Amino acid sequence: MEPIITFISENLVMIYVVVLAVFLGYELISNVPTVLHTPLMSGANAISGVVIIGAIILLRQADPSDFLALGLGFAGIVLGTINVVGGHAVTDRMLEMFKKKK
Amino acid sequence: MEPIITFISENLVMIYVVVLAVFLGYELISNVPTVLHTPLMSGANAISGVVIIGAIILLRQADPSDFLALGLGFAGIVLGTINVVGGHAVTDRMLEMFKKKK
Amino acid sequence: MTIQLLVDLGYLISVILFIVGLRRLSSPKSARSGNLLAALGMGLATVITLFMPLEQAQDAMIAYILILAGIVVGSVIGWVAARRVAMTAMPQMVSIFNGLGGACAVAISMVELQGIQTAYETGQGVAGGVHFTALMAMFVGAIAFTGSLIAYGKLQGLINDRKVRLPQPTLINLILLLVLIGGITYKMVDPQLPYTLVLGIMGLALVYGITFVIPIGGADMPVVISLLNAFTGVAAALAGLVYGNQVMLVGGILVGSSGTILTVLMCEAMNRSLLNVIIGGFGSTGGAAAAVGDQVAREISANDAAILLRYSNQVVMVPGYGMAVAQAQKVAHELEEVLEENGVNVAYAIHPVAGRMPGHMNVLLAEADVSYDKLKDLDDANKLLRDTDVVIVVGANDVVNPSAKDDPGSPIYGMPILDVLDSKNTIVLKRSMSPGYAGIQNPLFFHEKNRMLFGDAKDSLQKMVNEVRALG
Amino acid sequence: MTIQLLVDLGYLISVILFIVGLRRLSSPKSARSGNLLAALGMGLATVITLFMPLEQAQDAMIAYILILAGIVVGSVIGWVAARRVAMTAMPQMVSIFNGLGGACAVAISMVELQGIQTAYETGQGVAGGVHFTALMAMFVGAIAFTGSLIAYGKLQGLINDRKVRLPQPTLINLILLLVLIGGITYKMVDPQLPYTLVLGIMGLALVYGITFVIPIGGADMPVVISLLNAFTGVAAALAGLVYGNQVMLVGGILVGSSGTILTVLMCEAMNRSLLNVIIGGFGSTGGAAAAVGDQVAREISANDAAILLRYSNQVVMVPGYGMAVAQAQKVAHELEEVLEENGVNVAYAIHPVAGRMPGHMNVLLAEADVSYDKLKDLDDANKLLRDTDVVIVVGANDVVNPSAKDDPGSPIYGMPILDVLDSKNTIVLKRSMSPGYAGIQNPLFFHEKNRMLFGDAKDSLQKMVNEVRALG
Amino acid sequence: MLIGVLASPTDKRVGIIPESVKKLSQQGFSVVVESGAGEKAYFPNAFYEEMGASLNSREEVLKQSDILVSVEAPELTELTALGDKKIVVSLFNPLVETEFVSQIQSLPIHAFSLDRIPRTTIAQSMDVLSSMASLAGYKAVLVAANHLPGYFPMLMTAAGTIPPAQVLILGAGVAGLQAIATARRLGARVSAFDVRSAVKEEVQSLGAKFIEVEGAQEDADAGGYAVTQSEAYKKRQQALIHDQAVKSDVVITTAQIPGRTAPILIFKDTVDSMKPGSVIVDLAAISGGNCELTQNDKIIQHKGVTLIGNSNLPGEMSNHASKLFSNNCVNFLSYIFPEGKGELDLENEIVKGTLIS
Amino acid sequence: MLIGVLASPTDKRVGIIPESVKKLSQQGFSVVVESGAGEKAYFPNAFYEEMGASLNSREEVLKQSDILVSVEAPELTELTALGDKKIVVSLFNPLVETEFVSQIQSLPIHAFSLDRIPRTTIAQSMDVLSSMASLAGYKAVLVAANHLPGYFPMLMTAAGTIPPAQVLILGAGVAGLQAIATARRLGARVSAFDVRSAVKEEVQSLGAKFIEVEGAQEDADAGGYAVTQSEAYKKRQQALIHDQAVKSDVVITTAQIPGRTAPILIFKDTVDSMKPGSVIVDLAAISGGNCELTQNDKIIQHKGVTLIGNSNLPGEMSNHASKLFSNNCVNFLSYIFPEGKGELDLENEIVKGTLIS
Ligand SMILES: NC(=O)c1ccc[n+]([C@@H]2O[C@H](COP(=O)([O-])OP(=O)(O)OC[C@H]3O[C@@H](n4cnc5c(N)ncnc54)[C@H](OP(=O)(O)O)[C@@H]3O)[C@@H](O)[C@H]2O)c1
Ligand SMILES: NC(=O)c1ccc[n+]([C@@H]2O[C@H](COP(=O)([O-])OP(=O)(O)OC[C@H]3O[C@@H](n4cnc5c(N)ncnc54)[C@H](OP(=O)(O)O)[C@@H]3O)[C@@H](O)[C@H]2O)c1
Ligand SMILES: NC(=O)c1ccc[n+]([C@@H]2O[C@H](COP(=O)([O-])OP(=O)(O)OC[C@H]3O[C@@H](n4cnc5c(N)ncnc54)[C@H](O)[C@@H]3O)[C@@H](O)[C@H]2O)c1
Ligand SMILES: NC(=O)c1ccc[n+]([C@@H]2O[C@H](COP(=O)([O-])OP(=O)(O)OC[C@H]3O[C@@H](n4cnc5c(N)ncnc54)[C@H](O)[C@@H]3O)[C@@H](O)[C@H]2O)c1
């Protein structure tokens, strides 16, 4: 128990951030029309590519001799970037049909 | 500048809390039907009575000889409680008409 | 340590209750429970605050007595006031409550500011952020306080828009605001400045609250109250920062942001901008009443009309020539259907001379496929009207003109009419205050039971249909 | 110090862009800009991360080369893949992308975990929270990774639901999950345990991702992808906690929570519970296709139908006897009106023998007050159909049966029909696959241009009206 | 007071129906009915007796009653034979039957002509003209549809598409509006024309197209009735009506100006150019007709066009027509004699308007 | 091939209208028309000539043509005088006119009776019975409304409330359904009854109430036609119909069983108890009528009830009736003689069904 309690009180504000973000995520999309389910999923998926931030930090912190870290980091960046770039691009294509009128 | 910058980096997570709460507040009620404007205002007003928390803390921290603090604290508690209790009660009355059916 | 965990969790739960409460408050079906949840959150936060470990706690006996006494006194006053107030006076009540919240923020900030002052004077360091925050809490709280009281006065009719006026209100307010900002900046730059400055700032802020609201028209008071409510929220949040208290911070911010949006939404509902409301002052046209001579006909929004209908048991529509002109028969039928879906009984009262030819209404309603059984003729309708909650007069005029009964001087005196005033409420849908075929004014429009919904009948009905649907 | 401020502000702006982006993504009118805003936020966060001061930064040349190379390679692959993919294969693509995001989380967590392992082994202290978080990030990322690949395989038709099956899937999954939780707990309790355990956990998590998705029917894959997307978001957030990085944390949480809700909404749209989807597996009936013999008719939801209609230029409704039975003429007219309001041209194609008496459709549509000018007879309709984007067949059957043209063996061979297949899409509204008056099956239903919308025509049309209205 | 209900030899309607007998007795009147008066309106003697009226011969009814009610005005001889102070309520059509009316003006009776009820809101419940015009408008469409050798509504059938009938209504007063409504019900496309531009809104409120001719004269003091128009206007009007009529399958004319011959709106050459099989119903036949070729109370064929000049269409709907007439009459009697007795208020607008002798 | 169009002495319809002449020539037929054949349907000779048909006397038309089209069957003498292999298309009503048909069966001609087109989806474009029944259903309501001494729709007026007319339709085939639709259009409350329970849904789809009698016999093989019913069923049915009819203002009967006398649905005592002024239109008059009192082609009054036994209502709408007949006929001819010539396919269902000699 002890370490968890410490963790909680140390990161109390962080926990507020998490709780608020959870509610916010819920509220943001709770009124989405069914037609947007797929594009929204795709867009959210692209956002989940933020992990590349982690990969970048990892590589910047990596020892140049630590090939495992370098390799996995590189892999992470490639994979994450595909997720981000491909995700946003594919979402944009899905949403093209909405631009026509009005 | 300096103290503000310090303030910001010291309270960075707090700022996230504020930003998220602002967005959340917006999202929470952005779809409210006009008929609920007044009850919602009243309900929110009751919530804004959280200041009594401050008044309680104030009194608990007050020196028993500091009559100004005691007096203002007491006034704060009375005023705040009226806000909270009266606010919720009045909101409930406004909303009574919604309970009838379905 | 474990107690601290409980406190933290308890506060977190309070915050979540606030969030969920606000959320539920914004939908008619769950609004009541939302209010209760928020109240629960508040209760939880209060209890926790009463007993939580507090570093600088003195926890004097007298303090606890004052706290409990304050809570009891406040609760009783608040409860009784809330129960006693008439339905129509509720906005005023909310305004008063809000003012008190603002006053509370002022009270505690002043104490804190004095503490800070002492700290500065005794040379102890105080974080600049805390000082600033406390000043702002006081400032914002003060505006909310006096502003709300003025709003109350206006709504209650104690302060007359036309009599109590400010010369050059925008200029005065601008100057006041600049002076206030200057004062706060001054105090921040040199915290050693005497406490009198703080008192001066408070005094000016209280004045500013008054001058801020005075120029705004009485009809716009609901918007102002909502805005001041957001101010109180911000004041609470700032106080929360001072105390490093999460519940106050998040709760306050939530109220501040949702209150602001609500204010904007309210302005939108009146087709105006917030700026227009605040600066516009008297120039505003959005008054909720249309006057002919010295008589005043009150208006209703489609939304309020919708809620009135949705929660009725018996609704009667009175079609007239205006329904024919607007070709609103189908939408009328749609409104009937959506109301019936919600368990409301709907009938049509057909006056024998409604329209411009015998059976005009029959032709139109048959076209819209309204069931024959729902059509009531004069006698049946007048019986039904006695048990009717809301009558919607769809572009009829002469056939619901009470002068035919009351005013022997009227050219239509003696004509049987639909006694819509036997019902609890009437809503008249027409485009203007102009008279009908007989060319005579209609006292119904000015009756206290009646509200006008101006606009083309088809549009108005469509709006009502949409609003009733939105009520779910 | 000032740089740190810039970094903090930049990150904050990224987060706000994510929030606003998600918000805008959930409304058709703003969805595109929402996507772009989110992308902008991502770009900003990336640039900041590249250059921000970092305490433990080694900033080796090779690292920067790898970073840039990785970004270039990833961008090119992602971009090309996204541009090349066929409209119909987009869900698969999203699934793949999501899987890669999960893999990325696994990759970085493994590195971090190794670092933590070393720290523990060399006796340096590591906060228990960080260790746990990294383990969870790896675990959740791994499930998202392999799960998404399986979902891709199912959607792409590479994995056949019927052939690739698991015996006792629920049991297997439960056991796997327990073992995984046990492993993580074990490692947490005794952090000194060898790194092999971590590798083992990773391996098992990857397997669990596969066994989690395998039992779920192909038709439910969109829901699964959405769920796995939420997983990736959570993994990102956890990784963010490891790095103490706000953007990752908030961005990840936002995706995690909105993804979860989206999953629930998707299940609701199919009238099922999430549990039912995950556990139900093959038992599920919600397949998006109705089969007669070995022919399969594909279904469409009212929502997708609505969007198809809303963004068309020309829509033609083909009423038949089913419209009469459902008494759907008024709702058909309502759909016509709401589409026309949105700039869509709508006409009705009336087949001479539609219904059960000469002029049956005319009688009904006249009752609903459809303008005579909108009614097209066989010849005009067939001309118009060539330029039609969507045909809605409202309870008609024989009159749109292509066998009358193609199949000399058909009893109605030679009868002129409405050539609805000359249009781009057709949607058939009926209650079942049962035939019409002539008692013969209709190949139209199985045509690739056609989608079925099962249910009473009036209900289906009403749903479409509501959905089109919701599109605003 | 005793009300006597007379039969109308050439009209199928009856002035008071059995249902009204009850109402009248509640108000203190008693009723005697000429035997067989309601027969043609499907109100047999038995129905009257059930409701408490007594039956008698025409002579007796004339002799006994204080108030006489008849749809058709009684013979001059009969009126002359009446005693002092008797009251006669009927349709005297005083603006046209000037000679007859001037003769009865010398008699010591009070004659009320129900066709002179003012067109005000308060008087609407006694307004026989409105009730009858409404019947006529409805019936005119039915008669036209019956004479048209085809369908009114649009039908798309396996044997070809039938386009909707084009119906043109000239004069959109009470009859015209009812005709519009009925034709629209049957599925026709309807256009209408009237000199009074106020009618435009009313026409459109019934879903028909209003044909506008610019520059019409209007007289707000005419109490809702039309006034005669200028020459230039008449030319433009004529051309427009011609164009519309030629396109139409059915033309129904209702244009009247009280006390004058009806305006000619359809000329011979227009009829000549109309489609074979088309139908014209002229409701103004009695005052000369709106069509040049109309013959009162005759149905004629002209180059394949059927011209119907029936002046008493309400009489064809004798049952409902009698019901409405009777209700109007009861409302009128209870208005001028509250509670079944009392002096006439000669200052009252309605009394002034209807009293012709 | 030359098509000859004959006039029908006692029927206002014509078999081929001018518009169809054009279509037929495009398909390789030429057309000769008996002078005046279209007159009564408002298709004057000039219209035919404009479309490229030639005009001639009846004798010449009979002599020249390969195919003869006539609404009314030609005289036996005329048919006998025709040469070999001639084709005659008409309405022979073979199930009833058995004697006449057996006589022409011995002639060396091909006689097609269009009233024998099978009731299948593919044949609908040639189905004269459907087209004519639809006309009859529509017209029946108009005739009823015209004879009813009152309004169909509900009207709430200053002179009292008129309740909507109650209309009862017996037999909901093509004519019955069209009658339902038309009566509903005019604002009546409609109920309908039919032995075939499948019709229930169709009746409701037109907004009318379906009256159900339990236990009807049905025969799926009868091709959509009704079959005769059991005694117990008939009793229940009779009681129910009686109750309904007595409440109704208008009764329209269309019940028929091909080749038999029509079932009696309305008995004398029912008519006796109906309201004075009510109207019965019996579309089955030609096969004996659905009402005991019906007299074919006569309008009679029985105790205040009007009984209309008009057997040829479509003929009253001669213009549209001819148009529909003509289109059916053209579809039929182009179906059995694709491109204007060719041998008859005697195996074809439609040919088999209609060929009576
Ligand atoms: N039934 C008959 O046979 C007949 C025949 C002739 C005359 N009349 C007379 O007509 C009158 C009938 O009474 P009524 O109550 O039906 O009508 P009314 O008294 O004439 O009043 C109609 C009202 O509808 C409103 N209106 C017009 N267009 C509208 C639109 N588009 N949307 C909303 N409102 C609209 C008008 O007010 P705004 O302009 O402010 O919108 C007007 O006040 C009686 O006086 C009767 O005597 C009847
Ligand atoms: N026009 C005439 O004069 C006439 C007369 C007699 C016969 N017919 C024949 O009738 C046919 C007419 O063709 P059609 O295309 O109009 O109709 P149809 O071929 O009979 O098909 C009607 C379809 O409507 C569907 N349906 C029934 N109730 C429904 C409801 N409540 N909601 C949604 N769908 C419903 C039925 O499918 P589900 O059961 O799956 O819902 C059925 O497949 C032709 O074969 C024609 O020959 C015509
Ligand atoms: N106050 C009431 O409640 C009440 C009751 C009944 C009627 N009215 C009004 O009285 C008016 C007259 O009604 P009515 O039906 O007895 O009228 P009417 O029978 O006298 O005339 C019929 C119509 O013909 C039109 N007309 C005359 N000359 C014409 C011409 N040259 N060309 C075209 N049209 C011509 C008239 O404008 C009128 O609309 C209407 O406005 C009606 O609304 C009022
Ligand atoms: N395939 C096609 O496209 C097509 C075309 C036309 C007609 N039809 C069908 O053919 C059928 C017959 O049509 P019709 O109008 O020529 O029929 P019909 O004229 O022979 O009979 C009229 C109606 O009377 C009913 N009837 C018979 N005896 C009765 C009794 N004792 N009591 C009550 N009702 C009785 C019949 O059921 C029928 O509905 C209908 O079902 C129609 O839908 C099909």
Give the SS3 label for residue F164. Answer: coil
Q: Chain C: nearest CA to B35, how far in angstroms? A: 6
List the single range of A4-13, D219-228, D422-431 with lowest mean pLDDT: A4-13
- Among D378, D431, D444, the mutation site with the greatest number of ligand 2 atoms within 8 A of its Cβ is D431
List the single range of B88-92, C60-64, D69-73 with lowest mean pLDDT: C60-64
Q: Is the pLDDT of residue C285 over 80?
A: no
Mean pLDDT of E151-176: 94
**Strand D450-454 with D425-430, pairing:** parallel
List the single range of C202-211, D34-43, D116-125 with lowest mean pLDDT: D116-125
Q: Is the pLDDT of residue E62 over 70?
A: yes
* Candidates A9, A20, A23; nearest CB to C8: A9
Mean pLDDT of D240-255: 91
**Strand E155-157 with F209-211, pairing:** unpaired
Q: Give the side-chain half-sphere CA count within 13 A for C317.
A: 31
What is the Å distance from ligand 4's center to F169 Cα? 13
Q: Is the pLDDT of residue F331 over 90?
A: yes
| Residue whose C-alpha is closest to residue F261's, from F113, F95, F72, F94 | F95
Q: Give me the residues paired with residue C425 across strands.
A: C390
> ipTM value of the model?
0.79
Give the separation between CA C353 and CA E328, rounded to whole angstroms.
13
Helix ranges (H only) for D26-89 are: 31-51, 61-84
| Residue whose C-alpha is closest to residue A16's, from B13, C180, C381, C99 | B13
Q: Is the pLDDT of residue C161 over 80?
A: no
How do residues C200-249 score in pLDDT, each as one tens digit? 999 999 999 999 999 888 778 888 999 999 999 999 999 998 888 989 99
* Candidates C353, C361, C372; nearest CB to F164: C372
Question: Which of E39, E152, E157 to probe the F interface (max F CBs under 10 A)?
Answer: E157
Contact C152, C193 (CB under 8 A): no
Residue C432 in contact with ligand 1 by CB distance below 6 A: yes
Mean pLDDT of D140-154: 94
Residue C310 in contact with ligand 1 by CB distance below 6 A: no
In SS3 terms, C136-184 reads as HHHHHHHHHHHHHHHHHHHHHCCCCCCCCCCCCHHHHHHHHHHHHHHHH
C8 is catalytic: no
Q: Tokens for F79?
A: 């048919």
C-beta atoms of A47 and D42 within 8 A:
yes
Q: Is the pLDDT of residue D332 over 50?
A: yes
Contact C378, C385 (CB under 8 A): no
Mean pLDDT of E210-224: 69
What is the Å distance from ligand 1's center to C291 Cα? 21
Mean pLDDT of C441-458: 92
Mean pLDDT of C56-82: 91
List the single range of C128-142, C280-294, C367-381 with lowest mean pLDDT: C280-294
- Among F95, F96, F130, F211, the mutation site with the greatest number of ligand 4 atoms within 8 A of its Cβ is F130
| Cα-based distances in Å from F262 to A87, E177, F266, F297, F309 | 74, 42, 11, 15, 13
C-beta atoms of A27 and C1 within 8 A:
no
Residue E264 in contact with ligand 3 by CB distance below 6 A: no
Q: Give me the residues paired with residue D426 across strands.
A: D391, D450
Give the SS3 label for residue F161. Answer: strand
What is the structure's pLDDT at D294? 60
Q: Which amino acid is at C43?
A: G
Question: Which of F151, F156, F184 to probe the C interface (max C CBs under 10 A)?
Answer: F156
Q: Is the pLDDT of residue D162 over 90?
A: no
In the structure, do chain F and chain B come into contact, i.e. share 3 or more CB pairs under 8 Å? no
pLDDT over 90, % of chain D:
60
Chain C residues closer than 8 Å to E201 by CB: 325
Q: Is the pLDDT of residue D117 over 60?
A: yes
Q: Is the pLDDT of residue C339 over 90?
A: yes
Mean pLDDT of D436-464: 92
How do residues F202-240 score in pLDDT, each as one tens digit? 999 999 999 988 766 665 555 556 666 778 888 888 999
Q: Is the pLDDT of residue F58 over 70?
A: yes
Residues in chain E: 357
Give the separation between CA B39 and CA C105, rounded to whole angstroms.
23
Q: Kindly state whether D399 is in contact with chain E, defined as any CB-CB distance less than 8 angstroms.
A: no
Q: Is the pLDDT of residue C171 over 80?
A: yes
CB atoms within 10 A of CB C462: 17
Chain D residues closer than 8 Å to A36 by CB: 25-28, 31
Q: Which amino acid is at E95?
A: L
Q: Regarding predicted confidence, which is higher, B2 or E280?
A: E280
What is the Å distance from ligand 4's center to D395 Cα? 22
Give the separation between CA E333 and CA E345, rounded to whole angstroms.
12
Cross-sheet strand order for the sheet of F87-91? F54-56, F30-34, F2-5, F67-72, F87-91, F110-113
Residue F36, Cα to own-chain centre: how many angstroms? Answer: 24
What's the whole-number average pLDDT of chain A?
86
Residue D280: which pLDDT band, with cuts at 50, 70 and 90? Answer: low
Which residues 6+ apart lie within 8 Å of D427 measured at CB? D300, D305, D308, D390, D391, D392, D393, D450, D451, D452, D453
Give the separation between CA D51 and CA D67, rounded to whole angstroms.
12
What is the structure's pLDDT at C292? 58
Q: Is the pLDDT of residue B93 over 70?
A: yes
Subunits that touch chain D (at least 3 Cβ pairs < 8 angstroms)? A, B, C, E, F
Q: Which residue has the tokens 């969805």?
A: D31
| Residue whose C-alpha is closest to residue D137's, from A58, E356, F290 | A58
Q: Kindly state whether A14 is in contact with chain B, defined as any CB-CB distance less than 8 angstroms.
A: yes
**Is residue D253 packed enough to be buried (19+ CB in 10 Å), middle (13-18) or exposed (0-12)?**
buried
What is the structure's pLDDT at C287? 40
What is the structure's pLDDT at C293? 61
What is the Å distance from ligand 4's center to E153 Cα? 23
| Cα-based distances in Å from A81 to D34, D39, D140 | 19, 11, 19
What is the structure's pLDDT at D283? 40
Subunits that touch chain C (at least 3 Cβ pairs < 8 angstroms)? A, B, D, E, F
Question: CA angle, B52 as apex, B49 and B53 as ends, to 5°?
Answer: 115
Q: Tokens for C216?
A: 């705004």
DSSP string, C325-353: HHT-HHHHHHHHHHHHHTT-EEEEE--TT
Residues in chain D: 472
**Strand D295-298 with D289-292, pairing:** antiparallel
| Residue whose C-alpha is closest to residue D45's, from D25, D21, D80, D29 | D21
What is the structure's pLDDT at A100? 55
DSSP string, E158-184: TTEEEPPPEEEEE--SHHHHHHHHHHH
What is the structure's pLDDT at C278? 77
| Cα-based distances in Å from E288 to D66, D283, E116, E227 | 103, 83, 20, 17
C-beta atoms of F151 and E143 within 8 A:
no
Give the separation between CA E172 and CA E238, rounded to whole angstroms.
17
Q: Which helix (H) or strand (E) segment is D290 a member of? A: strand D289-292
How do residues C96-109 score in pLDDT, each as one tens digit? 999 999 999 999 99
Q: Is the pLDDT of residue D178 over 60?
A: yes
Q: Chain F: nearest CA to E253, how far in angstroms? A: 19
What is the Å distance from ligand 2's center to F206 Cα? 14
How do residues C1-13 score in pLDDT, each as one tens digit? 578 888 989 999 9
Q: Kindly state whether C377 is in contact with chain F, defined as any CB-CB distance less than 8 angstroms.
A: yes
From its phi and psi, is residue C331 left (phi > 0), alpha (psi between -120 and 50) or beta?
Answer: alpha
Chain C residues closer than 8 Å to A24 by CB: none
What is the structure's pLDDT at D455? 93
Helix ranges (H only) for D214-352 are: 221-243, 246-269, 274-280, 302-310, 321-326, 329-341
Q: Which amino acid is at F50?
A: E
List the single range of C306-315, D14-23, F314-323 with lowest mean pLDDT: C306-315
Give the separation between CA D401 and CA D437, rounded to whole angstroms.
12
DSSP string, B72-102: HHHHHHHHHHIIIIIHHHHHHHHHGGGGS--
* pTM (predicted TM-score): 0.82
What's the whole-number average pLDDT of chain D?
89
Q: Chain C: nearest CA to E145, how far in angstroms? A: 19
Dihedral over Cα of C201, C204, C206, C212: its sign: negative
Helix ranges (H only) for F306-348 are: 313-316, 318-336
Q: Chain F: nearest CA to E148, how far in angstroms? A: 7
Mean pLDDT of C130-143: 92
How do residues D184-209 score in pLDDT, each as one tens digit? 999 888 888 888 999 999 999 999 99
Give the separation between CA F316 and CA F11, rounded to whole angstroms.
9
Q: Is the pLDDT of residue D134 over 80?
A: yes
Q: Is the pLDDT of residue D141 over 60?
A: yes
pLDDT over 90, % of chain C:
60
C-beta atoms of D358 and F174 within 8 A:
yes
**Strand F155-157 with F160-162, pairing:** antiparallel
Residue C354 in contact with ligand 1 by CB distance below 6 A: yes
Residue D388: which pLDDT band, with cuts at 50, 70 and 90? Answer: very high
Q: Tokens for E44?
A: 């047999």
Q: Is the pLDDT of residue D285 over 60?
A: no
Mean pLDDT of F96-114: 90
Which residues 6+ apart lie within 8 Å of C294 measured at CB? none
What's the whole-number average pLDDT of chain F?
91
Q: Is the pLDDT of residue D158 over 90?
A: no
Give the separation between CA C322 and CA C316, rounded to whole angstroms.
16
Residue C167: which pLDDT band, with cuts at 50, 70 and 90? Answer: confident
Give the SS3 label for residue D299. Answer: strand
